[in-house]
Amino acid sequence: MSDTAHIAEDRPEEKDPYLVPALQHGLKILMLFSREQPLLGAPDIVRQLSLPRASAFRLLHTLEQMNFLVADGDRKFRLGPAVLGLGFGYLVSDDLVDIAQPILRRLRDQTGLSSHMAVLDGKEVVYVIRHAARSTIASSVSVGTRFPVHATVMGRMLISDMTQAELRAMFPDERLPAFSPQTPKTVSELAFMLREDRERGYAVSQSFFEKGVCTVAAPVRDGFGQTVASINVTAVDSYVDETRLHGELKDAVLEAARMIGLWLSPGGAGVQID
């Protein structure tokens, strides 16, 4: 589409007396980012939206300060954690919960352990689904429970795809609050853990956040590959063999995450849940 055509399309909107042009332009900047073009420089944005360079600079600066955009060393922008926060807020709708409920219920029945789903809210994870274990001690987590994102395995799954710049935007201070001996103490240490999590595709913990709690967690990704939630199974005050953690439990959690992701993908409503 030519710049002339683009401007022509905008004219009817600009006649609306209730339209706020600056807000409109800021939202259009965010809408430019996609799976096909995850990185954009200021010249790209100026060209695609036919914006004055001074206006584009102010808009980009504002979006960056509010963490809606993150710039790398070459001043290429990508969507920041604030956008993810909005996306999680939208996705924690009846659709996501309704899709995940039967899958996590089956995961609980299959493993005999409590199963959960959590989403990101700022620097915290918020639990939105809980299916308590029936035959073992159930976790004390309830829907609405919040934990610090950096100190939990569920939180690590939610931010495992973040770049160094995005982590620095989320945690401006290098030092991180400690909640257990295993909590990463710095952003650099957290980044190292996340890199390992990303390569592995899941995470296992023994008393990582709370003593006596064993967890296997995995990220849930939508049809665009974006992490929209994390799920886990949890054993409380009981020993779970490492072979089982990295074997059948890991496989069960990853399969549940895959199924939820399929339902969140275009055409996912046709996926059969046994």
pLDDT digits (tens, 9 = 90+) for 189-242: 999 999 999 999 999 887 666 766 788 999 998 877 888 899 999 887 666 778
Q: Is the pLDDT of residue 180 over 70?
A: yes
110-123 average pLDDT score: 90
Share of the chain above pLDDT 70, in %: 81
Quick one: pLDDT band at residue 1, thresholds 50, 70, 90?
very low
Q: Name the CATH topology of 85-270.
A: Beta-Lactamase (3.30.450)
Class of domain 3-79: mainly alpha
> Over 70: is that where the pLDDT of 92 sits?
no
* CA angle (78 as vertex; 157, 61 as ends), nearest 5: 125
Strands (E), the chain: 40-41, 69-71, 76-79, 114-121, 124-131, 146-148, 203-206, 213-221, 227-236
End-to-end Cα separation, the chain, in angstroms: 46
Question: Which phi and psi angles does 145 have, rounded to 5°?
Answer: -60, 140
Domain boundaries, given as residue ranges, for the chain: 3-79, 85-270
The structure's pTM equals 0.64
Calculate the CA 196 to chain-centre distance: 17
b/e burial code for range 14-45 (CB count within 10 A of at least 16 → b) = eeeeeeeeeeebbeebbeebeeeeeebebeeb
Least confident of 88-97, 170-179, 183-192: 88-97
- HSE-up of residue 70 (Cα within 13 Å, Cβ side): 21
pLDDT score at 41: 93
Task: Name residues whose C-beta falls within 8 Å of residue 63's C-beta, 6 or more positions apart in sequence.
Answer: 26, 29, 30, 69, 80
| Residues 87/80, Cβ–Cβ less than 8 Å | no
